[in-house]
A and B are shown apart, each in its own frame.
Chain A
Amino acid sequence: MVSNPTRPMVGLSCKAATTKGPDYYKLLSVSSGCNASGEEIKRAYRAMALQYHPDLVCDPLLKEQSTKMFVQLNAAYKTLSDPVLRRQYDDSMMGLNNGYSYERRGFEVDRTVWQRQILELKRRSACQRDRSVSWGGRMRARNYSEC
């Protein structure tokens, strides 16, 4: 089963759909992990969607990243909101809990969490930038960007 380890598709960043890596519970920020109830998972997904859905990200520079993030959230939610897929996923995560695979998984988790933190920081700095500049400055920036 483990004989065919993750083979990245070179040149394409579709990894979220193909790798077995990320910890979906952490991705959705479900604190109680695999003990979480269905309702908790739904709630967590909605909260994360309100934060990362690209429609709610006004800065065009962050849209691309939030889109990637949201696609990952959906993959996580699709698995965890389906009782059968969730059990399979939980089992596979238990099974992978050793040696090489474990480290890989740990890396993936770190990477997604790290990505999310970066995105959140950028989002905040974008908001602050908006707030700290004067009204005139904002208008000038807007006119500038429309040219």
Chain B
Amino acid sequence: MAEPIYTVASDSETTGEDRSAPIFPEIAVGIDIGTSQCSIAFWNGSQVELLKNTRNQKIMRSYVTFKDDTPSGGVINELSHEYDMLSGAAIFNMKRLIGRVDTDPVVHASKSLPFLVQTLDIGVRPFVAALVNNVWRSTTPEEVLAIFLVELKMMAEHQLKRPIRNVVLTIPVSFSRFQLTRVERACAMAGLQVRLMPEPTAVALLYAQQQQQQAVHENMGSGSEKIALIFNMGAGYCDVAVSATGGGVSQIKALAGSPIGGEDLLQNTMKYLLPNVESIFSHRGIDEIRRMGLLRVATQDAIHKLSFQSSVQIDVNLGNGSKLCKVLSREEFEMVNSEVFEKCKNLVNQCLHDARVGIDDLSDVVVVGGCSNIPKIRSLLMQKSKKKALYEGMNPLEAAVSGAALEGAVASGIADPFGSLDLLSIQATPLAIGIRADGNSFIPIIPKNTTMPARKELVFTTVKDNQSEALIVVYEGEETRAEENHLLGYFKIIGIPPAPKGLPEITICMDIDSSNMLRVLAGARLPGAHHPATPFMEVKMPTVDDGHGWCAEALHGKYGAAMDLVSLQKKS
């Protein structure tokens, strides 16, 4: 135990508790918990394998049923029929709600689900509840997520005959760091140490492995670089990535994502089939929930069929004497959802633009996720990329979880004799991170699509003579106005030496380490001074907790511009 310890930098001490043990002392499994479906995969020594539950399913449904006091999830729970979700006791689609406050449009769109989602529009978490014995039993998205995780963990431990402590969990690109902390909290509740991986980057890693194996097989050495466009659309989220792949290394060049998905297609179609759908179900009685569920199941079924046939007959008895009989054509479905498809196209355009990649540079277009069978989605991507065919090499429902399992194996440091794990996923930041300055502007310090780990800094200055304090409000997002981005936290630096405005140099440095932890360092000094006037403050982000959506507003109300900053124009 007399090994020398090389750590000298003081900043590693403050985070030492996170690093003292290797993150992956054993092989991590990959988990994909989608808005509607979940799955778990592991590296079996030679390849990735998906686990099956007792009903022989590899892809399980993401819902939790509350009965009496014991909730049980869709992994283990035996549900006889889809219609069991009509009682109001089944909670699902929680991935769409995690880490969101009740002013969020995505939360409002979830109010048509057959259980209770109530909003008060004050910036706190929504009230979510299941109907159990005629009483509303409240729950949280984190609790529901933790139940899935515990069930998947138990299933894997039983089958693999070893304890599972480490997982790679896939997440949507558009999740803010605040949402990530909620996901991490759910994992902690389930007793799991987690590494989070954006879904399309997991798919990109699987693609990199397939290309590498092909190159080895064809004896081409590491091959030349291939640019892939990855499009992943599930029930809740649409994600796009552009990756550059070669020699087993997958480098993410750009990411784009939005909370649009199959759920929006479903709701638009429901509204089209039954225009007064919202008023019919406004009361949330047991009957309304039942009818809402019936319509949902029938519409879902119809949308699935429209992927393979040009029209579908819908026949559903909604009770109360009302009956819905209608033929829905594929054209109608596409027309009703034209806005969703337009948004998908915009995400692809944006991602290609951000990656600075031309359509001719694309080697492959990979389309995965629950919506990948929809003809309009496929034609849209083929049109956009001017390709006659999409990439065929992977199962669209298993790609993300397989990629996560690969990342788990790679990060665990195990070697594969055939080189199947000589892989690396180089990630990029999905959103810009910066501070509020120059009035009410968002000034990015780490821009979007910066390769991670990353470290960047900018210099700011004071707005008032003899200003001794400055407020650092950290945001994440892409909007120019600060308050339209996700608030991650705030702190103030004090003891700025007295000086005319515009003179002190306030350096803000942001650091994302290999475990994706964000730290913000801030310090002030006068030009020419060799030492900072105050010791550098180092703050881990995010620091805000639930229900703090109004903090930035309150800060502004209390302090006005008294502690503001502006960017310092460097004299050249």
A interface residues with partner B (beta carbon < 8 Å) = 1, 4, 9-14, 16-18, 39, 42-43, 46-47, 49-50, 53-56, 58-65, 67, 70-71, 74, 78, 122, 129, 142, 144-146
Listed residue (A55, A60, A145) with the most chain B CB atoms within 10 angstroms of its CB: A55
Q: Is the CB of B509 within 8 A of A12?
A: yes
Is B572's CB within 8 Å of the partner chain A?
A: yes
Q: How many cross-chain pairs have Cβ atoms below 8 Å apart between A and B?
A: 108
Q: Is the CB of A14 within 8 A of B509?
A: yes
B interface residues with partner A (beta carbon < 8 Å) = 1, 3, 5-7, 9, 12, 19-25, 222, 224-225, 244, 246-249, 251, 410-411, 413, 422, 424-426, 451, 453-457, 507, 509, 513-514, 521, 523, 525, 529-532, 535-536, 571-572
Docked CA distance A142–B224 (Å):
40
Docked CA distance A94–B201 (Å):
39
Q: Is the CB of B224 within 8 A of A39?
A: yes
Q: Is the CB of B424 within 8 A of A64?
A: no
Query: Could you say which residues of chain A place their CB within 8 Å of the CB of B20?
Result: 60, 145
Docked CA distance A53–B425 (Å):
9
Docked CA distance A121–B413 (Å):
19
Given contacts A42-B246, A43-B247, A60-B22, 17 further A-B contacts (CB under 8 A): A1-B572, A9-B457, A12-B509, A16-B455, A17-B455, A39-B225, A42-B244, A46-B222, A46-B246, A46-B251, A49-B424, A50-B247, A60-B23, A65-B6, A71-B453, A78-B451, A122-B6
Q: Is the CB of B513 within 8 A of A67?
A: yes
A/B interface sample: 8 pairs, CB < 8 A: A9-B457, A14-B509, A18-B457, A42-B244, A60-B20, A63-B19, A74-B454, A146-B21
Query: Could you say which residues of chain B place their CB within 8 Å of the CB of A1?
Result: 572
Q: Is the CB of B507 within 8 A of A9?
A: yes
A10: contacting residue among B7, B21, B22, B530, CB under 8 A: B530
Q: Is the interface of B mostly helix, strand, loop or mixed?
A: loop
Q: Is the CB of A55 within 8 A of B246?
A: no
Q: Is the CB of B410 within 8 A of A55?
A: yes
Docked CA distance A72–B410 (Å):
23
Given A12-B536, A145-B20, A62-B455 contact (CB < 8 Å): no
Query: Could you say which residues of chain B place their CB within 8 Å of the CB of A78?
Result: 451
Docked CA distance A58–B28 (Å):
14
Query: Could you say which residues of chain A place their CB within 8 Å of the CB of B451?
Result: 74, 78
Query: Could you say which residues of chain B place their CB within 8 Å of the CB of A145?
Result: 20-22, 25
Docked CA distance A133–B392 (Å):
46
Docked CA distance A78–B451 (Å):
9
B413: contacting residue among A16, A58, A65, A71, CB under 8 A: A58
Listed residue (B7, B411, B514) with the most chain A CB atoms within 10 angstroms of its CB: B514
Query: Could you say which residues of chain A place their CB within 8 Å of the CB of B3?
Result: 129
**Beta-carbon nearest neighbor of B249 in chain A:** A46
Q: Is the CB of A53 within 8 A of B426?
A: yes
Q: Is the CB of A55 within 8 A of B531?
A: no
Listed residue (B509, B531, B571) with the most chain A CB atoms within 10 angstroms of its CB: B509
**Beta-carbon nearest neighbor of B224 in chain A:** A39
Q: Is the CB of B249 within 8 A of A50?
A: yes
**Beta-carbon nearest neighbor of A142 in chain B:** B25
Query: Could you say which residues of chain A place their CB within 8 Å of the CB of B571?
Result: 4
Docked CA distance A61–B422 (Å):
22
Query: Could you say which residues of chain A place their CB within 8 Å of the CB of B25?
Result: 142, 145-146
Instruction: State how many angstroms separate the Cβ of B10 from the closest Cβ of chain A.
Output: 10
Docked CA distance A46–B249 (Å):
7
Q: Is the CB of B225 within 8 A of A71?
A: no
Query: Could you say which residues of chain B place their CB within 8 Å of the CB of A17?
Result: 455-457
Query: Could you say which residues of chain B place their CB within 8 Å of the CB of A64?
Result: 7, 9, 12
